[in-house]
Amino acid sequence: MNNKEILDKRWKPIDKELNKYIKNFKYDVKNRINAYIKMFSFNSDNLYNYMRTQELSMFKSELEDNINNVGDYLKYRINAMLKRTRVKNYEALQILVEIAYYKTMNRTQKNEDELFNVVAVITNEMIQKESYDVRPRTNKYHLIPLPNYLLPHIMSLPLYLGYDWLSYKQNMIQYNANKMYRYIIVDIQQKRLDLDRYERTFEIERKRYITALDNEVASVSSQVALWGMDKQGIKKVQFVAVMDERTTNICQSMNAQIFKLNDWNTYYRLANNNDEKLTMYKTYGLQIGENMPALHISCRSVLIPYR
């Protein structure tokens, strides 16, 4: 098979599952923020006033309902807020906007977990059969199922950007929420609040999440493939990139290179897409971002067993 055929075989069943998830993904954070603004009647006249007793009670009830469904930093801030007897409206608004983002992402957590699990199963079944077909056949093919610990372990590993998936999502939520909060504060002060004005911003946030999710899917697939090849007795793997006009210079420099699974690899590749000279790398086994996909955003390269 040529590179395109290899990559189509690997990605088509995975992309089918990813596209199914994307189709059902509802990014309704705008509606959640609007609901909070109406619930607490935030406006230019009361923004910097202390919340009234009834509103404060409602606010603390909302915090208690969501404290166990947010990241550690927001949880710390919520605990501090729950101890206070007086809270200003702008302070409450900031916390509520961030909760709105968490509630939006948490609503799809089950589907996201199922997606990663399906990707892992598809990859494992495919790569173990490929591995059996390229090595000397000393016994009958037997699929080794994924152990329960493997996927959680993979999800805890850093992406090529240096974050694990959970940390990346929490940082993304905090960044988006803080940015939207600043927009809302200015609009309330100028008496022109209308979140429909930020439809494009919400769409950019949604697309950024989908891009990051696509990269995590690629990383999960690579890690599972590595595990499956090792279990089938493969000692070396080959890096395969899509060689067309859209292929990055980084992946072009890695295409067709051979790597050992359990030994040191010395190789040359471009460190950055704009580099002109190759850089020497020395990596033990295979590492995401070094000699193992994903090497960059929207990376579609794969590892295959090498005879």
Residue showing tokens 């100028």: 190
Residue 35 lies in a domain: no
Tokens of 12: 């088509």
| Whole-angstrom Cα Rg for the chain | 24
CB neighbours of residue 84 within 10 Å:
11
Q: Is residue 294 reached through a cis peptide bond, with omega within 30 degrees of 0 on the bond before it?
A: yes
Residue 36 lies in a domain: no
pLDDT at residue number 298: 86
Residue 12 lies in a domain: yes
Q: Per the structure, how many domains does the chain have?
A: 1
Q: Per-residue pLDDT for the chain (307 aa), expressed as one digit of tens each?
A: 788 899 999 999 999 999 999 999 999 999 999 999 999 999 999 999 999 999 999 999 999 999 999 999 999 999 999 999 999 999 999 999 999 999 999 999 999 999 999 999 999 999 999 999 887 777 788 899 999 999 999 999 887 777 899 999 999 999 999 999 999 999 999 999 999 999 999 999 999 999 999 999 999 999 999 999 999 999 999 999 988 888 899 999 999 999 999 999 999 999 988 888 999 999 999 998 899 998 888 888 999 999 7
212 is in which domain, residue-wise?
Answer: 1-22+114-136+145-158+193-307
pLDDT at residue number 30: 97
Residue 172 lies in a domain: no
- Per DSSP, the residues of 1-22 read --HHHHHHHHHHHHHHHHHHHH
Residue showing tokens 């993904």: 25
Asked whether 24 and 111 are in contact (CB, 8 A), the reply is yes
DSSP state of 190: T
Residue 208 lies in a domain: yes
Residue 304 lies in a domain: yes
pLDDT at residue number 140: 85
For residue 184, the SS3 value is: helix
Kindly report whether the global pTM for this prediction surpasses the value 0.85: yes
pLDDT at residue number 196: 94
The values of phi and psi at residue 291, to 5°, are: -130, 20
Give the Å distances, CA to CA, from 43 to 22, 99, 187, 198. Answer: 35, 19, 10, 18
